Amino acid sequence: MLTCKQVSKVLQNEDYENLSPLRRFLLMFHIKLCAVCGKFNRQVIDSQDMCCNFKRQEESLLEKEPPMDADRKDALKKLLSEQSGDSTLHRS
Ligand SMILES: [Zn+2]
């Protein structure tokens, strides 16, 4: 059985999705049963999951749509920096 510390450490250092099936099972087992870290680590996994899904969705969107051309990107950057009053984008 894993300890709370081990579970948190693994989740901190690695993506839940990239773990081997056995480790994933052990982690989930602990999280389901543990009253101490279960709720917290469940949320960690959920948020990793959300990020993963978002990345995947973004990738599939990029495949369908061509990336924004450089001119439009620059115009957008300028607009954003003007609106936020932030000059970091001009400083390159
Ligand atoms: Zn625990």
Answer yes or no: is pLDDT of 7 > 90. Answer: yes
The Å distance, Cα 43 to ligand 1 centre, comes to 13
Instruction: Give how far Cα 29 sits from Cα of 6, 7, 17, 18, 74, Å.
Output: 13, 10, 15, 17, 49
Provide the pLDDT confidence category of residue 69 given band limits of 50, 70 and 90. confident
The Å distance, Cα 30 to ligand 1 centre, comes to 6
The Å distance, Cα 49 to ligand 1 centre, comes to 20
The Å distance, Cα 66 to ligand 1 centre, comes to 45
Provide the pLDDT confidence category of residue 62 given band limits of 50, 70 and 90. confident
Answer yes or no: is pLDDT of 31 > 70. Answer: yes
pLDDT of residue 65: 77
The Å distance, Cα 5 to ligand 1 centre, comes to 7
> CA 59, CA 45: separation in Å to the nearest integer?
21
Largest CA distance in the chain: 56
